Every structure is written in C-alpha cells, then in structure tokens.
C-alpha cells in the first residue's frame, strides 16, 4: 500500500454531513481528496477550502452518482489533479420515508436509482480504476437490522448496497483492494432530523447502550480506519451504532 501522503480518495456526497466530515478526516490523514457533490456545489467548495486552509489537498467535482459518464468524469478529475485514485468512499444517497403501503412508486424508483444504481456505477468505476492497495467503502445503514417502520424503500436499497459490497470484495481477488460497507445507526445529521418530533429523536437516541445519537465523526473514524490501516478487514458490514442492534 502506498504512503498516505501519496493516496487519493473520492468521497461521493462530500457536501453532505457524513461525506464532508469523512473528507476532512481523510485529508487530516494526508490523503488528497476529491469532494464530490450532486447539488451542493457551494458546500463542497467550503469543504475544499477548509481542507486547503489546514494544509491539505482537495478539489470539488460534481455529478449524478447514477450517471456513469458524469461519474467517470469525477474519476478523471482525481487522476488529473492527483495522479490516480486509491480510495472510494461512497456516502451519497437519499432517504424519503413512508410506509410501504403508502409510498409513491416514483419515489421508490428514485431511491433505487440513486442508492442502488448509484452504488453500482461508482463501485464499477472503482473496480476498474483503483490502484493496488486501494479501498472501496460503501455506506449502508443499521436500519437493515433494526427494521423500523417507514424505512422500507431505503432499507431495501441499502440491503442491495451490502450485497454488492460483499460480492465485489470477492470479485476483486488478487487485486489488493478491500471492499466493505459501513452501516451507521441514527446519526445527528440534517437528513436524520428532518420531519422528526423531539420525542421521537429522544427515543431513538436512548435506544442504544451509549444513550446518544451517533455523530458524523463517529462514522468518519471507521471510514478512515477502512481507508488506511484496516487491510485485513474485507468483505464485511461494520455496524456503527453504539450497540443498538
């Protein structure tokens, strides 16, 4: 594996809560970072500026994660700016909630397009273009185990993400590239708080033995571990939820 100062990471959804913290955390370890965004260019630029202000290397690049041409361009940006790609951290995704009986099918299709096809697209590019010693880290969710009502479409999409991750790990035999999924529990992000009452937030926070919500930093620490020293962790789903399940 190359020295961390020579390693390059693409963080999809890098303008979001977990993505931006993960990008900053990887940059602190010495990796050059491509901060990907879909619609949040301004926030991605802020993340890049903060990384550079701390002496790190970063650029922003936009694209629809489910569009193979646009995401190939993101990999091209990484190669032009930094010489190659070693790490893919795929945090981009959406989470509309509704009971299965009530969810609009167009919404269901949009969840699967972004969360499942998007993962397939970026993982396929990573499988083709990552250098030896690389790491692919996909974001799943602890909801696949907690089975909370209204999360049916989202959980279905993340179950697919886990299956893709574990199969890709085995398909990359001999390449020295690890593939894992990280599955956070309830995490204090704007996406999590949206539409929830304080009573529900408090109940979810108390559900794990640590009696608090997770933070983006909790997840970013696990991502940094998998991106760097964790070369013997491969083909796994790591649950980052304070012991909720």
CATH of the domain at 120: 3.40.50.720
Segment 210-223 mean pLDDT: 97
Whether 245 is in a domain gets the answer no
pLDDT of amino acid 3: 60
Higher pLDDT, 10 or 190: 10
Alpha carbon distance 11, 26 (integer Å): 9
- Give the chain's mean pLDDT: 95
Whether 103 is in a domain gets the answer yes
| Whether 239 is catalytic | no
Yes or no: say if 17 and 42 are a contact pair by the CB < 8 Å rule.
no
37, 151, 154, 239: the active-site residue: 154
Torsion of CA 121, 216, 218, 139, to 10 degrees: -20
pLDDT at 2 over 70: no
pLDDT at 5 over 90: no
Alpha carbon distance 228, 22 (integer Å): 13
Domain that holds residue 147: 4-239
Whether 244 is in a domain gets the answer no
**How many domains does the chain divide into?**
1
Task: Provide the percentage of residues in the chain whose pLDDT is more than 90.
Answer: 91
Q: Return the minimum-mean-pLDDT range out of 22-31, 66-75, 115-124, 141-150.
A: 141-150
Helix count (H) and strand count (E) of the chain?
Answer: 10, 7
What are residue 184's DSSP bridge partners? Answer: 240
What are residue 62's DSSP bridge partners? Answer: 37
pLDDT of amino acid 163: 98
Where are any strands of DSSP class E within the chain? 8-12, 32-37, 58-62, 87-90, 135-139, 178-184, 237-240
Summarised one tens digit per residue, pLDDT across range 146-204 is 898 999 999 999 999 999 999 999 999 999 999 999 999 999 998 888 888 999 899 98
Higher pLDDT, 40 or 215: 215
pLDDT of amino acid 40: 84
């Amino acid at each position: 594996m190359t020295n961390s100062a020579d390693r390059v990471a693409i963080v999809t959804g890098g303008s979001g809560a977990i993505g931006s913290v993960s990008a900053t955390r990887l940059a602190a370890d010495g990796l050059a970072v491509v901060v990907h965004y879909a619609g949040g260019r301004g926030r991605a630029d802020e993340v890049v500026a903060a990384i550079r202000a701390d002496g790190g290397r970063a650029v922003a690049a936009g694209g629809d994660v489910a569009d193979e041409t646009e995401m190939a361009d993101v990999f091209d940006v990484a190669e032009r700016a930094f010489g190659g790609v070693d790490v893919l951290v795929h945090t981009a995704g959406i989470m509309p909630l509704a009971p299965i009986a009530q969810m609009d099918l167009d919404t269901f299709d949009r969840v699967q397009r972004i969360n499942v096809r998007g993962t397939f697209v970026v993982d396929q590019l990573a499988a083709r273009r990552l250098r030896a010693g690389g790491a692919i880290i996909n974001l799943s969710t602890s909801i696949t185990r907690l089975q909370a009502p209204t999360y049916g479409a989202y959980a279905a999409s993340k179950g697919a993400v886990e299956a893709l991750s574990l199969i890709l790990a085995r398909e990359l035999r001999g390449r020295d590239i690890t593939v894992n999924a990280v599955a956070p529990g309830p995490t204090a992000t704007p996406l999590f708080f949206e539409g929830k009452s304080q009573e529900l937030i408090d109940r979810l926070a108390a559900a794990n033995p640590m009696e608090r919500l997770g933070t983006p930093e909790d997840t970013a620490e696990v991502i940094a571990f998998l991106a760097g020293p964790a070369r013997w962790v491969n083909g796994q789903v790591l649950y980052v939820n304070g012991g909720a399940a």
